[in-house]
Chains A and B, each alone.
Chain A
Amino acid sequence: MRYCFLAILLIAGCRYSAEKPDPNDTVLYSSHGAKVRGLDPGDIGDTTSTAIASQIIECLYQYHYLKRPYELIPSLAEGMPFVSKDGLAYTIKIKKGVRFADDVCFNDGKGRELRAGDFVFAWKRIADIKYLSKNWWIFDNKIVGLDEFREYTKTCKRTADVDYNSPVEGLQTPDDYTLVIKLKKPWPQIVYLLAHLPTAPMAQEAVEYYGKDIINHPVGTGPYKLKRWHKGSYIEMVKNPIFRDEFYPSEGEPNDARNGLLADAGKKLPLTNRLVTVLIQEDPPQWFLFLQGKIDVSGIPKDNFSEAIDLRRQLTPEMQARNIKLFTFRDTSTYWFGFNMEDEVLGKNLPLRMALSCAVDRDKYIELFTNNRGEPAYGFIPPLMSCYNPDIKNIAQTAYNLQNARKLVKEAERIYGSKLPRLTLAMPGTDIVFRQHGDFLKRCFKDAGLDVEIDYMDWPTFQNKIKTKSAQMFALGWVGDYPDAENFLQLFYSKNVSPGSNNFNYSNPEFDRIYENACVMPDSPERDALYKKAEEIVIKDCPAIFLTHGVAFVLTHDWALNVKPHAFAYGTSKYRRVDPVKKAAYSELLRTLK
Chain B
Amino acid sequence: MAENNTLLSVRNLSTFFDTEQGPAKAVQNVSFDIKSAETFALVGESGCGKSVTALSIMRLIPHPQGRIVSGKISFKNHNILELTEKRMRTIRGNKIAMIFQEPMTSLNPVFSIGFQIAEAIRLHQRKKSSRAWSMTEEILEKVHIPDAGRRLYEYPHQLSGGMRQRVMIAMAISCKPSLLIADEPTTALDVTIQAQILDLLDELQKSENMSILLITHDLGVVAQRADNVAVMYASKIAEQCSCNELFKNPLHPYTQGLLNSRPQLGTRQNRLNTIAGNVPEPLNFPSGCKFHPRCPIGYNDKRCQTVEPELREVSPNHYAACWYAKK
Note whether A and B contact each other (Cβ less than 8 A): no
B residues engaging A (CB < 8 A)?
Answer: none
